[in-house]
């Protein structure tokens, strides 16, 4: 195991509430786990909306109090563009988040029960496990001029595609 992996594992300690989220178009599922892999809250849904995000925030606040956790680490797969609203919400509220590789989720799920079935609640638990084990990366969220340049570039590519058709 390399030093970087050890540093990631050390991010999660007995004071950390690990939240794995399975991102979807309309409804996300979140699962809470502690540093030893014990599920503190089975997967629960919340909507891709400001009300849904506020419900999620209240829920993790309650979990923090109930389980005496002073730190939070949220993680999810970067699924399409659906994760971006949640990422913005988390940043505004000062909640750290990380990303897990979708291939790792798939393979880990297969190891757990030898099934490749898609299940949002199960995926949230697997994502929490991967975070706890240090198998995540830190996202680079573009802001300001960098974000504007990316958006402008994306718009230009889309415009060129539309112009050809």
Q: How many domains does the chain have?
A: 1
State pLDDT tens for residues 17-57: 999 999 999 999 999 999 999 999 999 999 999 999 999 99
Class of residue 68 by CB neighbours under 10 A (exposed 0-12, middle 13-18, buried 19+): exposed
Mean pLDDT of 143-151: 71
Contact 72, 95 (CB under 8 A): yes
pLDDT of residue 32: 97
User: How much is the pTM?
Assistant: 0.79
pLDDT of residue 142: 62
pLDDT of residue 89: 95
State pLDDT tens for residues 70-127: 999 999 998 778 898 999 999 999 999 999 988 888 777 766 665 655 666 789 999 9
CATH number at residue 33: 3.30.420.40
pLDDT of residue 156: 82
pLDDT of residue 106: 78
Which domain does 79 fall in, by range?
Answer: 3-164
Q: How far is Cα 99 from Cα 121, in angstroms, rounded to an integer?
A: 17
pLDDT of residue 149: 77
- Residue 147 in this model has a pLDDT that exceeds 80: no
User: Collapsing DSSP states into helix, strand and coil, what is residue 116?
Assistant: coil
């Amino acid at each position: 195991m390399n030093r970087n992996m050890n540093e990631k594992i050390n991010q999660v300690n007995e004071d950390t509430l690990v939240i794995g989220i399975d991102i979807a178009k309309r409804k996300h599922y979140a699962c809470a786990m502690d540093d030893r892999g014990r599920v503190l809250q089975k997967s629960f849904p919340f909507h891709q909306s400001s009300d849904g995000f506020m419900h999620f925030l209240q829920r993790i606040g309650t979990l923090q109090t109930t389980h005496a956790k002073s730190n939070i680490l949220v993680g999810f797969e970067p699924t399409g563009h659906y994760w971006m609203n949640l990422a913005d919400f988390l940043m505004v509220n000062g909640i750290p988040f990380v990303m897990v590789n979708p291939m790792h989720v798939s393979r880990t799920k297969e190891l757990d029960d030898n099934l490749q079935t898609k299940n949002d609640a199960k995926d949230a638990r697997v994502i929490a496990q991967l975070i706890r084990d240090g198998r995540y990366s830190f996202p680079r969220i573009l802001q300001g001029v960098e974000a504007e340049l990316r958006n402008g570039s994306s718009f230009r590519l889309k415009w060129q595609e539309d112009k050809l058709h």
